[in-house]
Amino acid sequence: MNKEEDIIIAINDVEKSFNGISVLNGITINIHKGENVAILGRSGSGKSVLIKIIAGLLLPDKGSVHVLGMEVNTLNARELQQLRLKIGFSFQSSALYDSMTVKENLQFPLIRNKRHLTGKEVNEAINNVLESIGLLDTLHKMPAELSGGQRKRIGIARTLILNPEIMLYDEPTSGLDPITCVEINHLIKHVQEQYNTTSIIITHDLTCAKTTADNIAIIADGKFVSQGKFNEVFHTADKRVKGFYDYNFITMK
């Protein structure tokens, strides 16, 4: 599985600062085809910035990002657009289009990027994806009428609808109840298994990390301080890593 040519996302020594304040400071990671990687880190540690750099929404100050063999920050507009068709990005804030209904939100990427689809096929795709997140009844609602968790799920559905090769989930389970969390975790796993999708899952939720991810990477002080399988990572002595573990299970003690 871990062959060189299998590398889908290659990030090498990426640095990024805002107004002189360093956020990322030497991020390096390789992600292979069909692999789910969970990225954990404290609030403000630059997780969202990192996946925005992967999707080409932000430019790194230094270092290189290769996605599907292409260096993201050297692509022209058309190439970037082609690449983005293969990347699904589910935003931490959901980022649903306020002025459109749920249905219009979901069909927006479809009818604009797959112009050959018939109306019936579009509707079918929308129904399928809504069913998989359990929100069929919201079809004609406006985003403002949905709860935060529902918005989050629609946001994920909107990115899944194009069947991307790479999924970037920014905190897919934050603000959801435990039952919905489990459903979303299943969905992430299901997407990986069915379509051999490569995913990055940003999360604070260890259950989510453990159930959805093959590998875990922990970000602190702008770097990955620990990478590997769930058990390996949480058996290291690093305090910054331990802190996560302790917090997540503190209520059980």
Q: Is 92 in the site for ligand ATP (CB under 6 A)?
A: yes
99, 128, 147, 196: residue in contact with another protein (rule CB under 8 A) = 99
Burial of 204 (0-12, 13-18, 19+ CB in 10 A): middle
13, 28, 69, 81: residue in contact with another protein (rule CB under 8 A) = 81
Task: Work out whether the CA dihedral 146, 147, 152, 153 comes out positive or negative.
Answer: negative
Task: Work out whether the CA dihedral 169, 25, 220, 227 comes out positive or negative.
Answer: positive
Shorter beta-carbon distance to another protein: residue 91 or 224: 91
7, 9, 31, 49: residue in contact with ligand ATP (rule CB under 6 A) = 49
**112 phi and psi, to 5 degrees?**
-85, -25
Nearest distance from C-beta of residue 76 to another protein, angstroms: 12
What distance in Å separates the CA atoms of residue 151 and residue 188, rounded to the nearest whole number? 17
38, 130, 162, 213: residue in contact with another protein (rule CB under 8 A) = 162
Q: Are 154 and 109 in contact (CB under 8 A)?
A: no
Shorter beta-carbon distance to Mg ion: residue 92 or 248: 92
What distance in Å separates the CA atoms of residue 74 and residue 141, rounded to the nearest whole number? 40
Shorter beta-carbon distance to ligand ATP: residue 92 or 236: 92
Helices (H), the chain: 47-54, 77-84, 102-113, 119-132, 148-160, 178-195, 206-212, 230-234, 239-249
The H or E element spanning position 37 is strand 36-41
Number of residues that bind another protein (CB under 8 A): 27
User: Could you tell me which residues are beta bridge partners of residue 100?
Assistant: none
**Per-residue mark of binding to Mg ion, 27-56 (x: CB under 5 A):** ---------------------x--------
Q: Is 244 in the site for another protein (CB under 8 A)?
A: no
Q: Are 154 and 143 in contact (CB under 8 A)?
A: yes
Q: Is 136 in the site for another protein (CB under 8 A)?
A: no
Shorter beta-carbon distance to another protein: residue 59 or 249: 59
Among 44, 189, 20, 46, smallest CA distance to 11 is for 46
2, 20, 44, 98: residue in contact with another protein (rule CB under 8 A) = 98
Q: Which stretch binds ligand ATP (CB under 6 A): 37-45, 64-72, 101-109, 117-125?
A: 37-45
Q: Which residues bind Mg ion (CB under 5 A)?
A: 48, 92
Binding site residues, ligand ATP, CB under 6 A: 18, 23, 41, 43-49, 92
**Can you give the binding site for another protein, defined by CB under 8 A?**
18, 52, 55, 57-59, 77, 81-82, 84-85, 87, 89, 91, 93, 95-99, 108-109, 112-113, 158-159, 162
